[in-house]
Amino acid sequence: MFQKKVLGWFSLVLFVVSAAILAAVALLVFFPPLAQRLALNAQALILVGGVFALAATGCGFYAYKTAPGRVGAIGGLVLFIAIAGQLSFTTIKSRGSGLGAQPVHTYADQSLGFEFDYPATWMVDGPASAGERADSAQFTSWVHAPGDISADMPAGGTRFTATVWQWDPKNDLQAFVASRQAAWEASGFTFLSEERRDIGPGWTGMAFVIQTPEEQAYFFFTTIRDRYLSLSGSGNLSLLSEIGRTVRSVSP
């Protein structure tokens, strides 16, 4: 009997901990900057909460004749079902919103020999000159007047810019990326992730996610012959990363 009482109280503690974890997840969801500052992953916390809830359920049912055990068992089971449903919804939603789950168009620059895919429903402005040494095209997930993307991005929207740069030294991706990183650091931006990607034989790219005072932003850099290609944007960063992975060469 003593053992069941101990397990009952242990089940109750596990239930309280799992509930606290889910409360923290809710706080991070409603306040993303807090999650970024604390470097916390909401989905990882949900998984940890699920483990605690499942353990609370098991211990609670073993000690179900005790009051703490009943609370831990029932509460843990409710939390576990809620967590499983949330993870299933998140997985289905992420699969349904990816680049492979929708029609795509291809943006190609035959003169420089590169192309990439983007959602067919998106609007494209450009390419147009973006200064003496750059040309860019802008992509938005919402419809707007041609050339007018000055308005705030609507809720759930995504935008990105593809820019081709003339920059010296040529064919030195490391130096080009270092110049961008120096500019970000000078602006006080935070680096959240960095990834090296192999695009083709002898052709690599670098992808970054950074935190600005206003939002998270995605960047992808690679060389294009004697120039540099930059993809940068905000909104659905997972989708932007998928777009970056479609960069490939085409015959001029």
**pLDDT number for residue 247:** 93
**153 and 121 Cβ atoms separated by less than 8 Å:** no
Burial 86-108 (b: 16+ CB within 10 A, else e): beeeeeeeeeeeebeeeebeebe
Alpha-carbon dihedral sign for residues 26, 32, 37, 42: positive
**pLDDT number for residue 165:** 92
- Classify residue 156 by its DSSP letter: T
- Classify residue 199 by its DSSP letter: E
What pTM, to 2 d.p., does this model score? 0.61
Cα–Cα dist 107/76, whole Å: 50
- The CATH number of the domain covering residues in 100-249: 3.40.1000.10
Sketch the domain layout of the chain as residue ranges: 2-96, 100-249
99-139 per-position pLDDT tens digit: 766 788 999 988 888 999 999 889 988 777 767 788 899 99
Q: What's the alpha-carbon Rg for the chain, to the nearest Å?
A: 24
Cα–Cα dist 230/225, whole Å: 13
Q: Which amino acid type is present at position 121?
A: T
Q: Which of 4, 18, 22 lies closest to 59 in space, CA to CA?
A: 4
192-234 per-position pLDDT tens digit: 889 999 988 889 999 999 999 888 999 999 999 899 999 999 9
20-72 per-position pLDDT tens digit: 877 777 666 555 555 545 555 566 777 777 788 888 888 777 777 788 778 77
**pLDDT number for residue 209:** 93
- Residue 201's CB: how many other CB atoms inside 10 A? 6
**38 and 27 Cβ atoms separated by less than 8 Å:** no
